[in-house]
C-alpha cells in the first residue's frame, strides 16, 4: 500500500508529449511507465497559448478547469466543440481525438486524469461538504479551496490549498472534512475494469 503526499509547487514541470504546453505530473502508474505505457496518470497542466492537445491512443481523459477563464475545445473532425469555462467544471473525452484548445481570456490551469481504456476507469468529483468516499484501489485527492482533513483507516492527513495525496495498492475509503463551508476538493477514484465482465 502506497500513500504519497504532494504540493503542486513542488512538482517539476515538463513539456507536453507534443511539446505544446507544460505539465506537472502528480502520479503515473506503473511508476516509470512514461507517457506511452501508463495504466493511469494524473497531472496539472498550464495552458498559456492556443494549440493542439497531445494524442493518447486508447486512453480516456478527464480535464477539470482549476484556474483561469478556461478554453474552448474543438476536435478537428468537428464533432467536439466545448467551452470549459466554469470553475471546477470537467470534460471527458477520448485521447485518440485530435483536440485544439483556444484560450478564452489568458492562461489557465487544468487538472487531468488519464486511464487506459478497457483496463482502468476513473471517477472525478468535486467535494464541497463532509463526505465518506467509496472504496477505491487507487486515486488522488487535491485541495482546491480551504483546508481539508482526510481520515483513512490507518493514517490521517491535513490538506491545504494546492496540496494533496495519491494512493495505490489496495481498496480504501477516505472520510473528508472541510475546515469551512467554502471548501472544495477534487477526488479521483481509479478502479480496474472487471475483465471477466468485459468479456461477458
**Considering the entire predicted model, what is its pTM?**
0.92
Q: How far apart are alpha carbons 191 and 9 in whole angstroms?
A: 28
Count how many domains the chain has: 2
58-91 pLDDT, tens per residue? 999 999 999 999 999 999 999 999 999 999 999 9
Residues 110 and 132 in one domain: no
Q: Quote the DSSP letter at residue 199.
A: H
User: What pLDDT was estimated at residue 198?
Assistant: 47
Smallest CA-to-CA distance from 136 within 171, 186, 174, 167 is with 171
User: What pLDDT was estimated at residue 142?
Assistant: 98
Q: How far apart are alpha carbons 167 and 189 in whole angstroms?
A: 10
Q: How confident is the model at residue 130 (pLDDT cuts 50, 70, 90)?
A: very high
Residue 70 C-alpha cell reads as: 478556461
Q: What are residue 4's phi and psi, to 5 degrees?
A: -125, 125
Residues 129 and 178 in one domain: yes
Domain ranges, residue 168:
120-199
Q: How high does pLDDT run on average in the chain?
A: 92
User: What pLDDT was estimated at residue 195?
Assistant: 54
Outline where 6-114 has alpha helix (H). none
Residues 94 and 155 in one domain: no
Residues 63 and 97 in one domain: yes
User: What pLDDT was estimated at residue 35?
Assistant: 77
Cell numbers 497542466 correspond to 45
10-51 pLDDT, tens per residue? 999 988 777 777 899 999 999 888 778 899 999 999 998 899
Question: Which one has a higher pLDDT value, 81 or 155?
Answer: 81
Residues 62 and 108 in one domain: yes
Collapsed DSSP state (helix, strand, coil) of residue 1: coil
Q: How many CB atoms lie within 10 A of CB 113?
A: 27
In the chain, DSSP finds a helix count (H) and a strand count (E) of 1, 19
User: What pLDDT was estimated at residue 1?
Assistant: 73
User: What pLDDT was estimated at residue 169?
Assistant: 87
Determine whether 190 is exposed, middle or buried from the number of CB atoms within 10 Å of its CB (0-12, 13-18, 19+): buried
Amino acid at each position: 500500500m502506497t500513500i504519497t503526499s504532494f504540493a503542486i509547487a513542488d512538482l517539476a514541470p515538463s513539456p507536453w508529449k507534443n511539446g505544446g504546453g507544460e505539465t506537472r505530473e502528480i502520479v503515473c502508474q506503473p511508476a516509470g511507465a512514461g507517457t506511452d505505457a501508463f495504466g493511469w496518470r494524473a497531472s496539472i497542466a498550464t495552458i498559456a497559448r492556443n494549440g493542439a492537445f497531445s494524442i493518447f491512443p486508447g486512453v480516456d481523459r478527464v480535464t477539470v478547469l482549476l484556474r483561469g477563464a478556461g478554453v474552448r475545445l474543438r476536435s478537428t473532425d468537428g464533432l467536439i466543440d466545448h467551452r470549459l469555462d466554469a470553475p471546477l467544471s470537467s470534460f471527458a473525452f477520448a485521447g485518440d481525438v485530435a483536440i485544439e484548445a483556444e484560450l478564452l481570456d489568458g492562461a489557465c490551469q487544468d487538472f487531468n486524469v488519464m486511464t487506459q481504456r478497457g483496463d482502468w476507469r476513473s471517477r472525478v468529483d468535486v467535494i464541497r461538504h463532509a463526505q465518506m468516499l467509496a472504496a477505491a484501489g487507487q486515486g488522488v485527492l487535491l485541495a482546491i479551496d480551504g483546508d481539508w482533513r482526510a481520515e483513512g483507516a490507518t493514517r490521517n492527513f491535513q490538506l491545504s490549498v494546492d496540496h494533496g495525496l495519491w494512493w495505490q495498492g489496495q481498496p480504501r475509503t477516505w472520510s473528508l472534512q472541510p475546515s469551512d463551508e467554502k471548501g472544495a476538493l477534487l477526488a479521483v477514484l481509479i478502479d480496474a475494469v472487471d475483465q471477466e465482465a468485459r468479456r461477458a
